[in-house]
Structure 1
Amino acid sequence: MIKTSSSIRGILNYNEKKVDIGKAECISAVNYPLELEKLSFTSKLNRFLKLAELNTNAKRNTVHISLNFDPSENHSKEKLAEIADTYMEKLGFGRQPYLVYQHYDAGHPHCHIVTNNIQRDGKRIDLHLLGIRKSEPARKEIEEIFGLVKAEGRKQKEQFSLNPIDIGRVLYGKAESKKAINSVLNQVLFDYKYSSLPELNAVLNLYNVHADKGSEESRVFKNNGLLYKILDHNSKPIGVPIKASEFYSRPTLKFLEEKFRANETKKQYGKSHVKNALREAFF
């Protein structure tokens, strides 16, 4: 799975927070001037930011990749890092800085890769249809090279109900409000394909969080602002709302509207793909 974004801070934050709570481990740092053990959060981040500064016209300069394996496979950190290196090389990101995180929060082995697509000469690596053009062929080659269970052969059970991902619901008074809301936002904003505020709130509400533009007469609404609120067990707001601009990743209305447009495009592409598949199957 490949996701692109304009917020390297948010994606790096997401993976590093997983490390902090013992649900992930950074197992590899490629094309960094220091060894992994010597890299701080700031040095990891700055490597990406310096490249991003070389092309400020690029709206999406961050790439977040998830490599998923069959539950029967139990690979060592060294093998996962080698698989990640091979994948990134075939994807055209072999010379880019990237971080590999092994995650332990799901029923199957998987790792996340964080990188960007701005090269040392300031040129972008094309992200258009990257999954179809390069990722799929790379996956098939890597399955052969490393003797992995093939994706097409897996018996996957699709789950159609909307269930919370592996972060706890926010409980007012149990933790500092801003920190608790931020933890939910860092995961939900990048892991779901919502294309409107109601769709986003359908997910956020699962964690007792709500994004609110305010009433049409309110100053928040008139200034295109956005507030994040904690909900109690009756789904009613509780405590003091927090402005979107106060969060480190700045999940403002403007930021969300860009996500809405990008996700709507992905949805349309998905619908077209399904229609074509059905047409081929029945005609």
Structure 2
Amino acid sequence: MVAKISMGSSLYGALAYNGEKINEARGKLLATNKIYNDGTGTVDIGRALNDFLLYMPSQTRVEKPVVHISLNPHPEDRLTDTDLQNIAREYLEKLGFGEQPYMVYKHEDIDRHHVHIVTVNVDENGRRLNCDFLFRRSDRIRRELEEKYGLRPAERRSERLENPLRGVDVSAGDVKRQVGNTVKAVCRQYRFQTMGEYRALLSLYNVTVEETQGNVRGREYRGLVYSATDGAGNKVGNPFKSSFFGKTVGYDAVQKKFARSGQDIRDRKLADVTKRTVLAVLGETYDKEKFISRLKEKGIDTVLRHTEEGRIYGATFIDHRTGCVLNGSRMGKELSANALQEHFTLPYAGLPPIRLSVPTEERGGAYTRDASDGVDYPGGMGLFTPEGPAVNAEEEAFIRAMQRKKKKKKRRGLGM
């Protein structure tokens, strides 16, 4: 089970997010404490807000008094509503929030049913509850509940590598809901800096997006339209305006997402993590399909775009480990579409990489450099460095041909 905790200042926002899903029959209200529940299964968001405010002073020094928690059991765990209700209550009690006003919701809008909890971390006098080491305590409680209820452990890291998001399945029906859930999830979980990167990410889940623009009553507008696709990337069914799914996936929000993602990737140097992995795998094979499958094993999906003639004209890497979507050229020209096209169409493409030792001289000394080595020695080959290869494909093919000739001569000398 994965437990996620977020702090915020908008109580109404947290209540509306969960309450609207319940009122749209995309979940259930499982339990409340000190908050009115009429037993109908629906939520009166305004009434819930007023009830919470009764237990909160009008003024408090706590900047983020709202606590929003999600408890996510493993998809293979089969839990009843009573089980989920008991797990949520025990979790809150052990965390020190058992006497606080709270609401427990079950979300059913995706196949992996999970629980959301809204509560507050201030008492009636405006004093903050003990939130020291909150995440560490939460992790300990999570493990205790997993053992007690026989739940499968589902750590955050493995959850991201397994990539639990599922592609839209038109045959399953309710395509609008599927597309909306997918779009909102990827916007929340991933970083991307261009519409092309965003489109490549969505393609993994059978969704595509297009920009629209026009003029209404003298005012220009720009928007986004989402469509479901089949396994070949062809649009299926009717398109949906982004407004159907909320402002968080609209044109303005996505543009802001580009800027935030770029800043985050630069500040945390996240592209370097992906680049190292991609270059390492690229150095192991000249076979395109093996390259893609080996990256997938490491938690990176590859989206290659081809011309009608089959030439690569675009490459995007989706790193589920870091949540980053990166065009190959953004990480360096050695991962650009042209470089990859050349790499996968060399005369010996599909064969194991050639290991060569090339002597170089440096200040009177000599040492050797292995072609598969990622270290960049002065004057070395640099096959996978931004400077480009010092030994080109024709030279390597010539060396291979000469090696074959030598073998033939040896065989003749042995009378073979």
Q: Separation in 2 of the partners of 1:39 and 1:161?
A: 29
Partner residue, 1:82 = 86
Q: TM-score, normalised by structure 1?
A: 0.57
1:48 and 2:52 correspond: yes
Letter in 1 for 2:85: A
Q: Separation in 2 of the partners of 1:8 and 1:207?
A: 34
1:257-272 correspondence to structure 2 within 5 Å: none
Residues 72-127 of structure 1: per-residue CA shift (max 9 Å, x gap): 22211111111100000111111111111111123323111111112122111244
Q: Separation in 1 of the partners of 2:95 and 2:32?
A: 17
Letter in 2 for 1:77: D
Letter in 2 for 1:116: V
1:111 and 2:118 correspond: no
Q: Separation in 1 of the partners of 2:11 and 2:194?
A: 25
1:32 and 2:35 correspond: yes
Partner residue, 1:18 = 21
Partner residue, 2:66 = 62
Q: Tell me: CA distance 1:228–1:52, structure 2 relative to 1, closer, same or farther (3 Å).
A: farther
Partner residue, 1:91 = 95
Residues 146 and 152, structure 2, Cα contact 8 Å, conserved in 1: yes
1:11, distance to aligned residue in structure 2 (A): 1.7
Partner residue, 1:73 = 77
1:157, distance to aligned residue in structure 2 (A): 6.3
1:148, distance to aligned residue in structure 2 (A): 1.9
Residues 51 and 122, structure 1, Cα contact 8 Å, conserved in 2: no
Q: Separation in 2 of the partners of 1:228 and 1:49?
A: 39
Partner residue, 2:145 = 142
Q: Tell me: CA distance 1:71–1:4, structure 2 relative to 1, closer, same or farther (3 Å).
A: same
Residues 3-55 of structure 1: per-residue CA shift (max 9 Å, x gap): 12111212211112212332211111123255544962212112223444444
Q: Tell me: CA distance 1:50–1:202, structure 2 relative to 1, closer, same or farther (3 Å).
A: farther
Q: Secondary structure at the match of 1:58?
A: coil
Q: TM-score, normalised by structure 2?
A: 0.41
Q: Tell me: CA distance 1:208–1:82, structure 2 relative to 1, closer, same or farther (3 Å).
A: same
Ranked by relative contact order (alpha carbons within 8 Å, sequence separation 6 or more), the top structure is 1
Consecutive unaligned residues of structure 1, counting only runs of 5 or more, are: 171-182, 211-226, 234-241, 271-283
Q: Secondary structure at the match of 1:125?
A: coil
Letter in 2 for 1:134: R
Please point out which of 3, 6, 27 is paired with 2:6: 3
Q: Separation in 2 of the partners of 1:159 and 1:69?
A: 15
1:160, distance to aligned residue in structure 2 (A): 6.6
Q: Tell me: CA distance 1:157–1:123, structure 2 relative to 1, closer, same or farther (3 Å).
A: closer
Residues 8 and 67, structure 2, Cα contact 8 Å, conserved in 1: yes
Q: Secondary structure at the match of 2:86?
A: helix
Higher strand share: 2
Share of identical aligned residues, percent?
A: 28
Q: Tell me: CA distance 1:41–1:162, structure 2 relative to 1, closer, same or farther (3 Å).
A: closer
Letter in 2 for 1:138: I
Residues 235-274 of structure 1: per-residue CA shift (max 9 Å, x gap): xxxxxxx9xxxx9xxxx99xx9xxx7xx97xx97x9xxxx
Q: Separation in 1 of the partners of 2:165 and 2:149?
A: 34
Question: Bigger CA drift: 155-164 or 77-86?
Answer: 155-164
Residues 36 and 47, structure 2, Cα contact 8 Å, conserved in 1: no
Q: Separation in 2 of the partners of 1:18 and 1:125?
A: 29
How many residues are paired up? 230
Q: Tell me: CA distance 1:164–1:116, structure 2 relative to 1, closer, same or farther (3 Å).
A: farther
Letter in 2 for 1:135: S
Q: Tell me: CA distance 1:98–1:60, structure 2 relative to 1, closer, same or farther (3 Å).
A: same
Consecutive unaligned residues of structure 2, counting only runs of 5 or more, are: 169-173, 212-220, 228-242, 271-416
Partner residue, 2:322 = none
**Structure index of larger Rg:** 2
